Chains A and B, each alone.
Chain A
């Protein structure tokens, strides 16, 4: 091991010498070991050789003469050995394995062309992995030049498209959200879900920096000759402790055109203390500005003041309709299965539609392409196992993951006799196959299943629900600048409930299911340097079986109510272009046009105009056959954004967004419950649509690696669906008699300060927001809250989130979350009256009051095992304290009339600090994934 840091100096000198020097030696060498030859040559010429002993073990030298060319001798000896050499003028001989040292200057295109017949050159060249490890800590700018295309194909004046792909050197996983920054143009690019990016530039040599969270930053000169591919393999950071980046999108926070965009990777998730000791990606999402929940133990999110049914969750293109396990205490996604997630809360790309407020995209890893590895865990409550590995080395890979609880067993151990009868259990399974037959094609097949059951013994209610999903996805590159993706997607959600909370006569069971079957195709076309065009279409079929409410138990005399089946077809076409008008000014504009139709058969009631929708006022009964269209809606969805660079490290962005949604959730409870049914828009219920405008300012303080961003948004939703007071969704009455449509208005401002690296990292965010509903029809029965605007159930004006992580050493770190937000709105009694000596409450206007403010502080201490590089498995301990201050945050405030007295109570879920200890282990060392 003779290579040392002097290589660096050598490297710098490389650029100076255009002609390759040689050395002369003499002697008679007959099959002598290479090491002998080296000793001889060093003595004769004063040269110094650098190589690794294992490379030359079986190399022998066979040469004879008085003035042997060292070059010739080495070339002969290394023939067919995949060894290369480099000799410089200071008599240094460097031997490399795998690839020759690049010894040309970028401007010497003719030489480069000869040396690199293979247009694609990875960076498996000069510095090997191990050597690089040695170099850590005193790294300077090591710049290699990579050639793209061939100078022979160079056409003056024609732009060069580089179709690049960035992968993890260790696992072969594509790196999503890695950034490519071209210093000369000042433009940043980010990789897509396949780790791919496309850069179009005039031919020439550029200084390009590649960045990805958790990976070593690398810098190359790219010599662009003609269109061609480029593969960049990035090394994991061996010292991530000191350099954790909160996001990968370091550059495009400022330079990218995305707004209202959050991207979080597993690395970030690892740093955040969460309840249950589980690294739950959706709990991390709650710490981002603009994302709120109704409270602890609730399902769903409210993004920028919108209802929980206005968000779409995709895992690998498969939509998931219920994203939580066990009353929302766990999310439906196995933490092993989530590599990163992206959230669009405004400026949703034209590619996505179908929801008004936001799109959550979760990506699973592709599976280790290099070696079979497994991870697993078991505890009294849950156990999980994940296996990943290659199906064919370097090409195809698979992942199988499973997670389950044993909490039935746990609850049965409880002393509380009521809980002893309660049941709560869940499991989820996922499988992922990834085929990459060649560079131009990749196929992914993904399957997901989750099952939940629980009983609220106190209320005699039993729930069971399932998510089933599958997708197959083929990505093909037609030309370097044109790729397509075709996907077939199926997702189903079903629940069964048995409710005996009222009398025996009223006990019922009800099953429900929704199916989502989708075909989509998406194209990315890069016609030139300044444009990025995406277009495609998706078509999806919704199949709802709203189920039948049936009597449960021999005493029940409940009516059988068939709620009916319905179908809807939603199709959308889209086209969008990101266009750099002038350097520093990027416009992205997209149009999505969506069509929605509900086919028959159906029976629809028409009501007298000017009268309430009720069975008393049915004017006509319309019968549709299977050939008829019961309802049809369509409309354009414009998406536009403008990014104005206001300085080297700052930008201002503007965006406008229109979204439409053709299905909604029937919910009359405060928080989303697993028995809330999805329902399609129909003859009576019009699809709601939202207009959102936002303005943002972004600044990087590069020296300190701090980003600051602020966004202001205003959005208005027309035809938002609200339930009437006392609405029931399992009754015989048609659904339109239980609902009203109104207007929702939301606005807010969000501030975010992130520090990405250093001992102290984390973020601090504040948002002010408002979300109000208005249901003010022409008649008294078309109004909610007397036609006055009222705060939505999830309107929480002030929200402060702080996430800190402080590293004392590589093995010890402390993290903390601090969460504050205004209490959610509630309706309180404001007056009391008596009838027959019984006290009754008169309630305020809807949501006129608020429950007490929410505050919580969590603490976590992470203790890593030893940092040896070579070991079978690595483990760490995580001590968590959730709700350190023990504050009894209100989940709800409620009132009980107890005879002539009214008692009021506050219910809290986590009313004390909750300690958890988690033991994590994985195969590999500290840095392995």
Chain B
């Protein structure tokens, strides 16, 4: 009764390769909307903001702001700062340096238009240690297709909280990058073809920026020292134009309370689940906001007080892998074909930029996709950010 498992070599291959992940939309019942209040006060003079919104159903999610609320940040020294709504559901207020002190406790109070009153627990600002270093390493990620790995760079942060009371940290990331068009603009069509060097590089240099959605938290609670080493941040792949010229990452480091850490860490873990072996069960986390007029009402969100420090780094293009840039091949039209092709454009889309194949007034010209000329068509702006090096 002996078993020789010839089949198993094939078997194991199949176990792992056929282990598959497919999109799947579960049926979920809608539940009634809950109020979401979130905001933060930091030790930096400036605008401090609070958002008031409502949760939406899983099946049809959207941002559902709550306008016309009375929003107040108050401290334990009887200072009250009334926030004004600067965008739907978003409230802010300038708070001066003199009010932002270690040891002062802050909370937020919100009265919604339907008269319900909400209040957060109080938190105090703990000074935040400086961001010691932000750096990156080239990294190769595996993809579904084993033959096509994903190249890119992985950012890390180091910090040293030794000597600071703060032991929980949250990082928010903002990125910005410079990128260029494929072709400089020389010739264009607006009913007829112009040889017109006046545009030249005016649509060539662009910058793009945005906040990243990653939540990154860390606690030194289980560490012997306050040293934070190689805490992974974001990964930037070679499949976007981010790395094509120069990339910049701004790391905002917040020192947060134990409660805030639990809140953000739970959200972080839940947004990173992969359904794999030995994962933990997700669970709801509500935050530190309470409805004081209707104590049984479930409220979501967190109001935190935090120290903040920041560091920005620039990463010029210098990598051991190639960068994928948008596809900008010439259309390959003959002069007659080009003429017919250009006539089909509406006037509102003028000017249509063209490539001059001879660099003389007489052409010939050829067509390429317009985003190859106008870098704005790839999402960025022509305005160089003031922090740009």
Select which of B20, B28, B220, B266 is within 8 A of A908 by beta carbon: B20
Q: Which residues of A contact B222 (CB under 8 A)?
A: 506, 558-559, 561, 731-732
A419–B211 CA distance with the chains assembled, in angstroms:
34
Which residues 663-695 of A have a CB within 8 angstroms of B? 668-671, 673, 675
Distance between Cα atoms of A846 and B9 in the complex (Å)? 40
A852 to B211, CA, bound (A): 36
Q: Would A841 and B58 be within 8 Å (CB), given that A671-B278, A673-B278, A905-B21 are in contact?
A: yes
Chain A residue numbers with a CB within 8 Å of B3 are 277-279, 335, 377, 384, 918-920
Q: How far is the CA of A888 from the CA of B7 in the complex (A)?
A: 21
Q: Whole-angstrom distance from the CB of A275 to the nearest CB of chain B?
A: 8
For the complex, give the distance between the alpha carbons of A929 and B54 in Å.
70
Interface residues of B in 1-21 (CB under 8 A from A): 1-21
Residue in contact with A893 in the complex, picked from B26, B215, B231, B276, CB distance below 8 Å: B26
Given the interface contacts A907-B20, A914-B14, does A896 sit within 8 Å of B271 by beta carbon? yes
Q: What is the distance, in angstroms, from B31's C-beta to the closest C-beta of chain A? A: 5
Q: Mark A483-519, 1 if CB is under 8 A from B, else 0.
A: 0000000000000000000011110000000000000
CB of B82 closer than 8 Å to a CB of A = no
Interface residues on B, range: 35 or more
A836 touches B21 (CB 8 A): no
Asked if A20 is at the interface of the complex by the 8 Å CB criterion, the answer is no
Of A417, A558, A559, A827, the contact of B281 (CB 8 Å cutoff): A827
B23 within 8 A of partner (CB): yes
Q: Mark A415-452, 1 if CB is under 8 A from B, else 0.
A: 11111000000000000000000000000000000000
A907 and B276 within 8 A (CB):
yes
Within 46-67 of B, Cβ neighbours of A (below 8 Å) are at 51, 53-58, 61, 63
Name A441-480 residues within 8 Å CB distance of B. Answer: 456, 458-459
Name B14's contact: one of A336, A376, A844, A912 (CB within 8 Å): A912
Q: Cβ of B149 and Cβ of A417 under 8 Å apart?
A: yes
Q: Does B128 contact A (CB under 8 A)?
A: no
B386 interface residue, CB < 8 Å from A?
no
- A902 CB contact (under 8 Å) in B2, B13, B61, B267: B61
A843 contacts across to B, CB distance below 8 A: 270, 282-284
Residues of chain B within 8 A of A732, CB atoms compared = 222
B273 sits at the interface (CB 8 A): yes
- Which residues of chain B are near A297, meaning CB under 8 Å? 277
Assess A929 versus B1: contact at CB under 8 Å? Given A558-B224, A909-B15: yes
Asked whether B271 lies within 8 Å of A417 as measured between CB atoms, the reply is no
Q: How far is the CB of B209 from chain A (nearest CB, A)?
A: 14
Verify A911–B55 contact, CB threshold 8 A. Answer: no
Given A266-B1, A277-B3, A907-B19, are A831 and B56 neighbors across the interface (CB < 8 Å)? yes
A554 and chain B: residue at smallest CB distance: B229
Q: How far is the CB of B226 from chain A (nearest CB, A)?
A: 8
- Within 8 Å by CB of A827, from B17, B57, B220, B282, lies B282
C-alpha spacing A725/B6, complex, angstroms: 45
A905 CB contact (under 8 Å) in B8, B15, B272, B275: B275
A877 to B, closest residue via Cβ: B6
**Nearest residue, chain A, Cβ from B56:** A832
Instruction: Check if A131 is an interface residue, CB within 8 A of chain B.
Output: no
- Does B300 interact with chain A (Cβ within 8 Å)? yes
Partner of B58, one of A830, A837, A838, A919: A830
Return the contact of A414 from the options B13, B218, B220, B281 (Cβ within 8 A).
B13
Partner among A277, A418, A555, A894 whose Cβ is within 8 Å of the Cβ of B7: A277
- Which chain B residues numbered 302 to 360 have a C-beta less than 8 Å away from chain A? 302
What 0/1 pattern do residues 543 to 576 of A give for CB contact below 8 A with B?
A: 0000000010001111111000000000000000
- Also in contact, A835 and B278, with CB within 8 A (given A416-B142, A893-B26): no
Residues of B near A893 (CB, < 8 A) are 24, 26, 275
Question: Quick check: A839 and B61 within 8 Å, CB to CB?
Answer: yes
Q: How far is the CA of A919 from the CA of B262 in the complex (A)?
A: 54
Complex contacts, A906 vs chain B, CB 8 Å: 21-24, 275
Q: B230 contacts the other chain (Cβ, under 8 Å)?
A: yes
When distances are taken between beta carbons in the complex, the residues of chain A under 8 Å from B274 are 894, 896, 907
B129-154: contact bitstring with A at CB < 8 Å (1 yes, 0 no)? 00000000000001000110100000
**A557-B227 in contact (CB<8A):** yes
For residue B141, give the distance in angstroms from its CB to the closest CB of chain A. 9
- Chain B, Cβ-Cβ closest to A376: B2
Q: Mark A785-805 against chain B: 1 for CB-CB distance below 8 A, else 0.
A: 000000001000000000000
A917 interface contact, C-beta 8 A: yes
Chain B residues within an 8 Å CB radius of A377:
2-5
Shortest Cβ distance from residue B208 to the other chain A in the assembled complex, whole angstroms: 15
Q: Which residues of the other chain, A, contact B301 by a CB distance below 8 angstroms?
A: 833, 835
**Is B245's beta carbon under 8 Å from chain A?**
no
Interface range for A: 35 or more
Min CB distance, A850 to chain B, in Å?
Answer: 9
Residues of chain B lying within 8 A (CB to CB) of residue A419: 16
Kindly state whether residue B228 has any CB partner on chain A within 8 Å: yes
Q: Mark B154-176, 1 if CB is under 8 A from A, else 0.
A: 00100000000000000000000
Q: Are A278 and B20 in contact (CB under 8 A)?
A: no
Q: How far is the CA of A725 from the CA of B16 in the complex (A)?
A: 31
- With a cutoff of 8 Å between Cβ atoms, the chain A residues found around residue B225 in the complex are 557
Most buried by B among A732, A834, A839: A834
Once A419-B16, A912-B18 are accepted as A-B contacts, the answer to whether A725 and B213 lie under 8 Å apart by CB is: no
Is residue A379 contacting chain B, with contact meaning CB distance below 8 A? yes
The A interface is mostly helix, strand or loop, or mixed, namely mixed
Q: Across the interface, do A456 and B8 meet the contact criterion of CB distance under 8 Å?
A: no
CB B235 to nearest CB in A, in angstroms, measures 13
Q: Are A381 and B9 in contact, CB atoms less than 8 angstroms apart?
A: yes
Question: A311-331 vs B: 1/0 string, CB under 8 Å?
Answer: 000000000000000010100
Chain A 756-812 interface residues, beta-carbon cutoff 8 Å to B:
793
Chain A residues with Cβ under 8 A from B156's Cβ? 503
Task: Please give, as numbers and ranges, the residues of chain A lying within 8 Å of B389 by CB-CB distance.
Answer: none
Chain B, residues 21-49, CB within 8 Å of chain A (1/0): the string is: 11111101111011010100000000000
- The reply to whether the CB of A221 lies closer than 8 angstroms to some CB of chain B is no
A890–B26 Cα distance when bound, in Å, is 12
**Chain A residue at smallest Cβ distance from B147:** A415
Name the B residues within 8 Å of A668 (CB-CB): 280-281
Contacts of B223 in A (CB 8 A): 505-506, 557-559
How far is it, in angstroms, between the C-alpha of A441 and the C-alpha of B36 when the chains are bound? 75
- Whether, in the assembled complex, B198 has its beta carbon less than 8 Å from a beta carbon of chain A, the answer is no
From B55, B58, B156, residue with most partner A Cβ within 10 Å: B58
> Are B271 and A919 touching (Cβ within 8 A)?
no
A916 at the interface (CB under 8 A from B): yes
B23: chain A residues at CB < 8 Å are 903-906
The residues of A that contact B58 with a CB separation of less than 8 Å are 828-832, 841, 902
Is A899 located at the chain interface by the 8 A CB criterion? yes
Give the shortest distance, in Å, between B83 (CB) and chain A (any CB).
Answer: 16
Contacts of A831 in B (CB 8 A): 31, 33-34, 55-58
Give chain A interface residues in 868-908, CB to chain B under 8 Å: 880, 888, 890-900, 902-908
25 A–B contacts from the bound complex (CB under 8 Å): A270-B1, A335-B3, A336-B2, A379-B7, A557-B225, A559-B223, A673-B278, A726-B280, A827-B283, A831-B31, A831-B34, A833-B56, A894-B273, A896-B273, A899-B213, A900-B213, A904-B24, A905-B21, A909-B19, A911-B18, A914-B14, A914-B15, A918-B5, A918-B6, A919-B3
Q: Which residues of A contact B (CB under 8 A)?
A: 266, 270, 275-279, 297, 327, 329, 335-336, 375-382, 384, 407, 410-411, 414-419, 456, 458-459, 503-506, 551, 555-561, 668-671, 673, 675, 725-726, 731-732, 793, 826-844, 846-847, 849, 852, 880, 888, 890-900, 902-912, 914-922, 929
| CB-CB nearest 9 A-B residue pairs | A916-B7, A894-B275, A906-B24, A832-B61, A892-B275, A377-B4, A897-B271, A380-B9, A504-B230
Known interface pairs A835-B51, A895-B282, A922-B2; 15 further A-B residue pairs with C-beta atoms within 8 A, sorted by A's residue number: A379-B8, A414-B13, A503-B229, A505-B227, A668-B281, A831-B34, A832-B61, A835-B302, A840-B271, A842-B284, A844-B31, A846-B283, A891-B275, A912-B14, A918-B7
